[in-house]
Structure 1
Amino acid sequence: MTSATSSAEPEIDGLESGRLTRFQLTSLSISSMIPAVGMASFPMLLVINAGAGSWLAALISALTIVCVGRAVIAFARRYVASGSLYSYVGEVFGAWARSLTAASLLLGYLAMVASILLVIGAYTGSFLLSIGVDSGLDPAMQIALYAGASIVTALITYRGLDASVRIAVALTVVCLPLLLVVTGASAAHTGLHLQEQLTLDGSSVSGIVAGIASGSAFLVGFEGSAALAAETRDPKRSVPVAVMSVPVILGALYLIATILQAPGIILVSDAMAAGASPPAALAHAAGLPDGVGRATDLVVAVSTFAALIGFVNYGSRFAATLSAEGLLPRRLARVHPRFHSPAYALLLTIACGLGGIVTLVLASSGPMQTIYSAISTLVVYFWVIPYTLICVGAAVLLFQEGKLTAGTVVCLLIGTGSVVWVYISGILFPPPSPADAMSYVAVSATAVLAVSFAWVARRRRRAATAGREGGEADARASTGRP
């Protein structure tokens, strides 16, 4: 079977076809991007970099991902595949693009899991501090929190997609209202300071560009739900809706939240520097009861499980696809006979993400915000190659079908140019250390793994060719033909 297929048949034996409805897939897609955490952290990261220009960085981030989404759904409407972008680009560019995309996305999913674990630890640690547990942000406590979150997520995802969807969506529905209250209270307390925001008072180009990179980290991976296409009903219609729901709905939500929160975040910068989380500091400054600030930390930590559940599901399906094609050990493609989950691939995804974040925490002497800035930047860079290839590939695909319009060309050019510029700007306008080194880390790691995948794929093709030739020779010998 090819990497992408026009049928809805799963590529990994044992996955249950047509399990998810369009509503379930879309709900999981949005929940996986943790809107509560986005409202809690997205504006803060943009304000730190872009100041009053944070709303512009938020807008550009959303428009960039919308344009990339247009490219993704061009393939999703035609192909059903558990390999997502890896399968799609292979339909246009062939083996070299598959190897490159496989390496970049696999590393991206593992880095994403690591970054989500860090967020869970940071907000849970902040909550522990607020109730008098002084060791809440100590490395030992943080590692214990990462391990606990990993175990809980493994138990949930192991039981299949139904359990994952129910829990992830429930967490989002329960946790989001409190962040809306804090955001509204902060805006009412400080005002919007629209003149300063609209005139980009004190902002710099490098700061806005850095803000775009930070903001994109909350939208990168938006197409992950495409990895569940083989397990979705009517996937050629359902997957495009689920994919585009993230940049459209969450992009708009984060833009509004940034405009409302920016003045308050600037006001409480000292409190955040002292260790308070953004929503807790905003709640306190807005005069909300002390319990609200503590509750937001706990709520954000809990809601982040939705993202961990989603991306472990996406990453494990992707790893299982690579395994089914021989790029990773075959055992990773095994699916549980009862729960229809790729159990070994789930464990690999969680274990690598956990190992990565534990290593970073032990090796770094900086604050959590510094570590998060570095790993979130790395996550964005890992998606630069796949997003560039999917935009160019969509143009080629639509041109071959005679369906490439001027509007689509403009959209794909914006998507390609913005994604590439995010990476180039990281070199031209480097962020503070250690995030400045991530552009080189991403390229080096991707290159090494891509070459390894290409070598494995080449060996498999040679073995398959030799096997066919041997079989033909045996057939000729049995019939007495030369």
Structure 2
Amino acid sequence: MTTKTSAGGIAESADARHTLTGRLGPTAIVFMVVAAAAPLTVIAGTVPLGIAAGNGAAYPASYVICTVVLLLFAVGFTAMTRHIPGGGAFYTYVAHGLGRHAGLGAAFLALLSYTAVQGAVYGYIGAAINDLVTAHGGPAVPWYVYAAVMLVLVATLGYRHIELSGRVLGVLLVCEVGIVMVINLSVLAHGGEDGLSTAALQPANFFHGAPGIALIFALAGYIGFEATAVFRDEARDPARTIPRATYSALILIGVFYALSSWLMVSAWGDAGAVVKATEDPEGMITDTAVRYVGAAAGDLVQILLITSLFAALLSFHNVLARYIHSLGSSGALPASCGRSHARHSSPHIASVVQTVSAAVLVVASALGGLDPVTQVFAWFAGISSVGVVALMTLTSAAVIVYFRRTRKDVRIWHTAIAPGLGLLGLASLLVLTAMNLPLLVGGSDTLAIIIAVLLVAAFLAGAMVAVLRPHAARHTSTSDV
């Protein structure tokens, strides 16, 4: 009976599971990544918070710094992609670099982090739909009802072939980016409130206020960019597609955020932007649209904010399903999770598992009477922020160790200098995120401690699986693609 190496590297019979297939090119994968970043959601929600609680009018510079750090990280990440089979992304890289125990620890940390961010978005989208309906005279409906409807739609699309999700995400992404660009161009044409802002161009301004908080909010906008490697098995030509998609996604996200946040500041003036972001953060983008484009644009922003959140939900669902599929294939989770649909070539069982976990979060939040924005969104996003930065930091270290040990690539820039600089940058961001975690979860030190314990427990649980299941995720080949 023929055998093959699974995403996690363990050999198993060909009839034990179906493989994921697809012909995704760089453009389709970039759509997945940028959709997960939820551009309109970031501009509408994160940018005002960064301006108000961070470093004011200089906040746009935070996106430039984060983009540079992540591009340095991407140099080693994409160099390692050529030598790492399968679609496990961060956890697979950590396993090959730092060992199986650390790898499975990273895998379980990733599951917790991305499940948390998906739960956060379900809370936000439920509240956003209810606000839109009531604003137009409709009845008030509990947020979790709308969240449940969105969950069913996401589950349906996630169960089917990945290319269907790619097409849906492509349409939604074009719409949300389009409305922000219309607002940007209108502000640019009008010259802003007091002329175009120069605050972000003056380095001294960056250190005013709380630059650490600014960087944390900025970095949150990049969550999900590892999806470039997660979709490896469904890429047309992984060796070329993954690096191109990674660099393209980071540059597009960074330029879009920096440009849009700069024009948002310009729309209100340096001082006025801080006042507006502090007094009415949730209404800043809508009021900017009404002020510079017209009332219809304000209504359109509200609608597209919902589609932006839905796109993020679908993208995170796809990423999580492939994490679960990879862990099932490698023996870390039940083998059934590693099966794929005979007709759709999708990780259908992993998709169902992910749907159930999301439903549990929504139900638990509803039964707990949590506010969908100030508690569900803020708390779960706090968990995700720390977890994802920790994952990237571990991956940076794994890249350096892997190439130093294997010598599969001897280019000093790609295997040591760039990954080393990325590691320093990410480690600094991790420290900042951990130190400011209480602020991210509403000022509660107790809740911050609980979140920290959960993250550490998730990592240790993965390491324990490695101990209890010696054959799980034991790679047998790291040959070039």
Considering the TM-score relative to the shorter chain, is it more than 0.5?
yes
Distance in 2 separating the partners of 1:113 and 1:389: 22
In the alignment, structure 1 residue 228 sits paired with structure 2 residue 228: no
Distance in 1 separating the partners of 2:146 and 2:390: 32
Q: Which AA in structure 2 matches 1:232?
A: A
Who is 1:471 aligned against? none
* Partner SS state of residue 237, structure 1: helix
> What is the deviation of 1:260?
0.6
Structure 1 residues 314 and 88: alpha-carbon distance in aligned structure 2, compared to 1, 3 A threshold: same
> What is the deviation of 1:165?
0.8
Structure 2 unmatched ranges of 5 or more: 474-481
Q: Which AA in structure 2 matches 1:461?
A: P
Residues 146-204 of structure 1: per-residue CA shift (max 9 Å, x gap): 11111111111212112111111011123321121123334544245524444578875
> What is the deviation of 1:70?
1.8
Who is 2:256 aligned against? 253
> What is the deviation of 1:407?
7.3
* Partner SS state of residue 336, structure 1: coil
Structure 1 residues 192 and 208: alpha-carbon distance in aligned structure 2, compared to 1, 3 A threshold: farther
Who is 1:165 aligned against? 166
Structure 1 unmatched ranges of 5 or more: 465-482
For the Cα contact (< 8 Å) 1:222–1:246, is it kept in 2? yes
> What is the deviation of 1:427?
4.4
> What is the deviation of 1:313?
1.0
Distance in 2 separating the partners of 1:33 and 1:402: 31
Who is 1:474 aligned against? none
In the alignment, structure 1 residue 95 sits paired with structure 2 residue 100: yes
Structure 1, 233-242 or 432-441: larger mean CA deviation = 432-441
In the alignment, structure 1 residue 19 sits paired with structure 2 residue 30: no
Distance in 1 separating the partners of 2:442 and 2:14: 39
> What is the deviation of 1:254?
0.4
Distance in 2 separating the partners of 1:260 and 1:456: 49
Distance in 1 separating the partners of 2:394 and 2:19: 28
Structure 1, 225-234 or 312-321: larger mean CA deviation = 225-234
> What is the deviation of 1:360?
4.4
In the alignment, structure 1 residue 403 sits paired with structure 2 residue 403: no
Who is 1:444 aligned against? 453
> What is the deviation of 1:228?
1.5
* Partner SS state of residue 439, structure 2: coil
Structure 1, 233-242 or 262-271: larger mean CA deviation = 262-271
* Partner SS state of residue 210, structure 2: helix
For the Cα contact (< 8 Å) 2:47–2:261, is it kept in 1? yes
For the Cα contact (< 8 Å) 2:101–2:462, is it kept in 1? no
Distance in 2 separating the partners of 1:95 and 1:446: 18
Who is 1:153 aligned against? 154
Distance in 2 separating the partners of 1:365 and 1:198: 41
Who is 2:72 aligned against? 67
Provide the TM-score with structure 1 as the length reference. Answer: 0.84
Q: Which residue, 308, 333, 351 being the options, matches 2:356? A: 351
Structure 1 residues 71 and 192: alpha-carbon distance in aligned structure 2, compared to 1, 3 A threshold: farther
Structure 1 residues 403 and 343: alpha-carbon distance in aligned structure 2, compared to 1, 3 A threshold: same
The structure whose Rg is larger is 1
> What is the deviation of 1:298?
0.5
Distance in 2 separating the partners of 1:54 and 1:11: 53
**RMSD of aligned C-alpha atoms?**
3.4
Q: Which residue, 324, 332, 336 being the options, matches 1:327? A: 332
Q: Which AA in structure 1 matches 2:171?
A: A
Q: Which AA in structure 2 matches 1:118?
A: G
> What is the deviation of 1:205?
5.8
Structure 1, 257-266 or 11-20: larger mean CA deviation = 11-20
Who is 1:480 aligned against? none
For the Cα contact (< 8 Å) 2:7–2:85, is it kept in 1? no
For the Cα contact (< 8 Å) 2:51–2:274, is it kept in 1? no
In the alignment, structure 1 residue 280 sits paired with structure 2 residue 286: yes
> What is the deviation of 1:317?
0.8
Q: Which AA in structure 2 matches 1:32?
A: A
Structure 1 residues 423 and 228: alpha-carbon distance in aligned structure 2, compared to 1, 3 A threshold: same
* Partner SS state of residue 19, structure 2: coil
Distance in 2 separating the partners of 1:346 and 1:460: 24
For the Cα contact (< 8 Å) 1:4–1:87, is it kept in 2? yes
In the alignment, structure 1 residue 385 sits paired with structure 2 residue 390: yes
Structure 1 residues 262 and 275: alpha-carbon distance in aligned structure 2, compared to 1, 3 A threshold: closer
Who is 1:126 aligned against? 131
In the alignment, structure 1 residue 458 sits paired with structure 2 residue 467: yes
Distance in 2 separating the partners of 1:261 and 1:427: 28
Who is 2:476 aligned against? none
* Partner SS state of residue 403, structure 1: coil
For the Cα contact (< 8 Å) 1:17–1:233, is it kept in 2? no
Structure 1, 238-247 or 125-134: larger mean CA deviation = 125-134
Who is 1:110 aligned against? 115
Structure 1 residues 129 and 115: alpha-carbon distance in aligned structure 2, compared to 1, 3 A threshold: same
Structure 1 residues 230 and 329: alpha-carbon distance in aligned structure 2, compared to 1, 3 A threshold: same
Give runs of aligned pairs for residues 20-99 of structure 1, distance below 5 A.
20-50=24-54, 51-99=56-104
**Relative contact order, higher structure (CA 8 A, sep 6+):** 2
> What is the deviation of 1:315?
0.7
Distance in 1 separating the partners of 2:248 and 2:132: 31
> What is the deviation of 1:99?
2.0
Provide the TM-score with structure 2 as the length reference. Answer: 0.84
Who is 1:478 aligned against? none
Residues 278-307 of structure 1: per-residue CA shift (max 9 Å, x gap): 321212333x33222111110121133222
Structure 1, 357-366 or 93-102: larger mean CA deviation = 357-366
Distance in 2 separating the partners of 1:435 and 1:12: 47
Distance in 2 separating the partners of 1:10 and 1:212: 46
Structure 1, 387-396 or 417-426: larger mean CA deviation = 417-426
Who is 2:425 aligned against? 418
Distance in 2 separating the partners of 1:108 and 1:36: 22
Q: Which AA in structure 1 matches 2:427?
A: V
Q: Which AA in structure 2 matches 1:445?
A: L
> What is the deviation of 1:85?
1.4
* Partner SS state of residue 17, structure 1: coil
Structure 1 residues 2 and 433: alpha-carbon distance in aligned structure 2, compared to 1, 3 A threshold: closer
